[in-house]
């Protein structure tokens, strides 16, 4: 079936008035049929672009009735006036590429609440809908690749939540940013304080990386070689100066040394 056929069929669904339950079930089926379970491959750019274009057209036709917008609205009852915001990068919604329930949404409007650990989308009716985390496969937001990590049986596994993937190879590096509501001692105003933690998954074990020495210890048995690698980049190449870059390059060098 060609893309135009999909569009005509989808448009037909929105002319159906008799049975809302059946109509919603058909919508979900068509989404899965359209996007083939969301399994995209980097080498097939043409197919990915075709899928994205079809998804955009679908959402334009579906409006607020898309399955993406089913869910609870963001709770504003306990909102406190603060001097800053708790969202990743920006409190405004940004276009993001989202895989939700194995369906690709290439232009979803999203923001990530780092305080409540919630991914929120904005519907055409301006509803702030909290996405169900168990259905979030991944999201590409503000140039970052984000997943919802579920607790598993691996030693040291961090708590469930949204994590930024900094590196994915034989080792995986996760970044967790948390916003915590605080009160100022000076003027008693409220603000959000941010903490960032890094986790290295290596050989089936998670390590909480707090500093440079902790990273080198986790990357045994190449501690000496990695120290030479760090020294070759100059005195400014330090964990405390730019943790993300330092971890990414050091872990990448470890993988080269280990022959991965």
Cβ–Cβ < 8 Å for 85, 35? no
pLDDT for residue 69: 81
CA distances 24 to 16, 188, 208, Å, are 10, 49, 44
pLDDT for residue 53: 61
Question: Quick one: which H or E segment has residue 26?
Answer: helix 20-35
Give 192-243 pLDDT, tens digit per residue.
999 999 999 999 999 999 999 999 999 999 999 999 999 999 999 999 999 9
Residue 237 phi/psi, 5° resolution? -80, 90
Give 78-101 pLDDT, tens digit per residue.
778 999 999 999 999 999 999 998
pLDDT band at 56 (very low <50, low <70, confident <90, very high): low
Q: Which residues pair with 144 in a beta bridge?
A: 141
Mean pLDDT, the chain, integer? 83
pLDDT band at 9 (very low <50, low <70, confident <90, very high): very low
Residue 255 phi/psi, 5° resolution? -65, -35
pLDDT band at 16 (very low <50, low <70, confident <90, very high): very low
pLDDT for residue 207: 98
């Amino acid at each position: 079936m060609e893309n135009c056929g999909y569009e005509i069929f989808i448009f037909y669904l929105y002319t159906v008035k008799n049975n809302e339950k059946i109509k919603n079930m058909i919508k979900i089926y068509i989404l899965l049929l359209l996007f083939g379970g969301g399994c995209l491959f980097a080498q097939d750019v043409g197919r990915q672009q075709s899928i994205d274009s079809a998804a955009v057209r679908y959402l334009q036709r579906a409006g607020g009735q898309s399955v993406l917008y089913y869910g609870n609205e963001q709770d504003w009852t306990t909102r406190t006036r603060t001097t800053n915001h708790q969202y990743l990068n920006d409190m405004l919604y940004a276009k993001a590429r989202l895989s939700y329930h194995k369906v690709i949404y290439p232009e979803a409007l999203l923001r990530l609440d780092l305080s409540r650990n919630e991914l929120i989308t904005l519907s055409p009716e301006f509803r702030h809908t909290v996405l169900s985390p168990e259905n979030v496969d991944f999201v590409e937001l503000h140039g970052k690749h984000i997943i919802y990590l579920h607790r598993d049986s691996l030693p040291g596994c961090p708590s469930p939540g949204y994590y930024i993937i900094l590196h994915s190879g034989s080792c995986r590096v996760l970044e967790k940013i948390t916003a915590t509501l605080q009160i100022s001692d000076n003027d008693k105003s409220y603000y959000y304080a941010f903490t960032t933690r890094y986790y290295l998954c290596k050989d089936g074990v998670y390590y909480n990386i707090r500093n440079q020495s902790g990273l080198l210890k986790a990357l045994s048995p190449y501690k000496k070689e990695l120290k030479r690698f760090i020294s070759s980049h100059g005195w400014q190449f330090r964990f405390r100066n730019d943790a993300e870059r330092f971890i990414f390059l050091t872990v990448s060098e470890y993988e080269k040394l280990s022959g991965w």
